[in-house]
Amino acid sequence: MTSSLSRQNLGFDFESPVYRFGPLQTTASNALCVPIIYGQVKAAGNKIWQGAGSKTFYALIAFGEGPISGISNVKINDYVVPSKDLPGCAITAYVGDGTKDIYSEVTGANNKPLADNAARAAIVGGLRHTAYLGLKVTVGTKVTRSYMNVTADIKGKLVNVYTNPLITPVLTYSNNPAWCILDFLTSSSGCAMSTDSLDIQSFINTAAYCDAKVGSETDPRFTLNLILDQRKSRLDWLNQMLVTCRGELTYNADNKLSLVIEKDADVAQDFTLDDINDVIF
């Protein structure tokens, strides 16, 4: 059984405008937090900038914290970009790996592209560690300046994956709940815990259990696919991530935080009637 967390099927009393069942809607707000994306999801981003221009204009749509693995299946108003349905439209994807300059079509007061990256940063912010799309949009029958809903399939955050507690982990894409939870515990935008305070072997063991196939299933036992885009406590987010794999955080004998999963196990104790004292209370 593959498990993937959603807000509606757990009965939560909030709903994200950019990640939910049903229609997705691109937002345009400076009050939203920068989402953390784990696993694979379909999302509508947040428009953080749009240039001038009546026939052709440029825009930036932010999706979340980088680095992520990739952005694909981009659509404007449910039409794939690029395609014959949206002539003159194009996309440039940025995964937030800290290596690329800002989208080159960001314009200044004269509506001309700014050649200097620092000048572009003064308009839209640094964005080096933000996953976003740079869009070129040509107005037509299927898209206008006043309405542009942008959706995409997001392959989420790169996380540290261990094979041995004593070996340096590999930074790679994974939607295994154990590695996503470990990333949230240790990242600066999560709980910022030191790995020295964690039982890394317990995460390795749990990750193997999550990756295992069940019966004739071809998918892993548990996966985690989630956008953390609401202002909630870290404990609330952790609890929702743990739900995906029946996980629990507990301290081991060395007082290190461990990840364990509720699962079938060997019998630890076996009681019979001979073990019960015949005492009248």
Q: Which class for 4: exposed (0-12), middle (13-18), buried (19 or more C-beta within 10 A)?
A: middle
Tell me what pLDDT residue 137 has.
Answer: 95
Residue 19 clears pLDDT 60, i.e. is over it:
no
Distance CA 279, CA 276 (A): 9
Q: What is the mean pLDDT of the chain?
A: 88
Task: Please state the domain extents for the chain.
Answer: 8-155, 157-261
How sure is the predictor about 20, in pLDDT bands with cuts at 50, 70 and 90? low
Q: Could you read off the pLDDT of 104-139 as tens digits, one per residue? A: 999 988 888 898 999 999 999 999 999 999 999 999
Nearest to 204 by CA among 163, 245, 265: 163
**Apex CA 111: angle with CA 106 and CA 112, to 5°?**
70
Residue 9 clears pLDDT 60, i.e. is over it:
no
Contact call for residues 189 and 198 (beta carbons, < 8 A): no
Residue 230 clears pLDDT 60, i.e. is over it:
yes
Tell me what pLDDT residue 132 has.
Answer: 97
Tell me what pLDDT residue 278 has.
Answer: 66
How sure is the predictor about 274, in pLDDT bands with cuts at 50, 70 and 90? confident
Residue 11 clears pLDDT 60, i.e. is over it:
no
**How far is C-alpha 173 from the chain's CA centre?**
11
Q: Could you read off the pLDDT of 57-100 as tens digits, one per residue? A: 999 999 999 999 999 999 999 999 999 999 999 999 999 999 99
Type of residue found at 220: P
Tell me what pLDDT residue 144 has.
Answer: 86
**Per-residue three-class SS string for the chain:** CCCCCCCHHHCCCCCCCCCCCCCCCCECCCCCCCCEEECEEEEECEEEEECCCCCEEEEEEEEEECCEEEEEEEEECCEECCCCCCCCCEEEEECCCCCCCCCCCCECCCCCECCCHHHHHHHHCCCCCEEEEEEEEECCCCCCCCCCCEEEEEEEEEEEECCCCCCCCEEEECCCHHHHHHHHHHCCCCCCCCHHHECHHHHHHHHHHHHCECCCCCCECCCCCEEECCCCCHHHHHHHHHHCCCEEEEECCCCCEEEEECCCCCCCCCCCHHHCCCCCC
Architecture of the domain made up of 157-261: 3-Layer(bab) Sandwich (3.55)
User: What percent of the chain is predicted at pLDDT more than 70?
Assistant: 89
Region 155-179: mean pLDDT is 97
Tell me what pLDDT residue 117 has.
Answer: 93
How sure is the predictor about 12, in pLDDT bands with cuts at 50, 70 and 90? very low
Most confident among 110-114, 158-162, 188-192 (mean pLDDT): 158-162
Tell me what pLDDT residue 280 has.
Answer: 58
Region 39-43: mean pLDDT is 94
Tell me what pLDDT residue 265 has.
Answer: 67
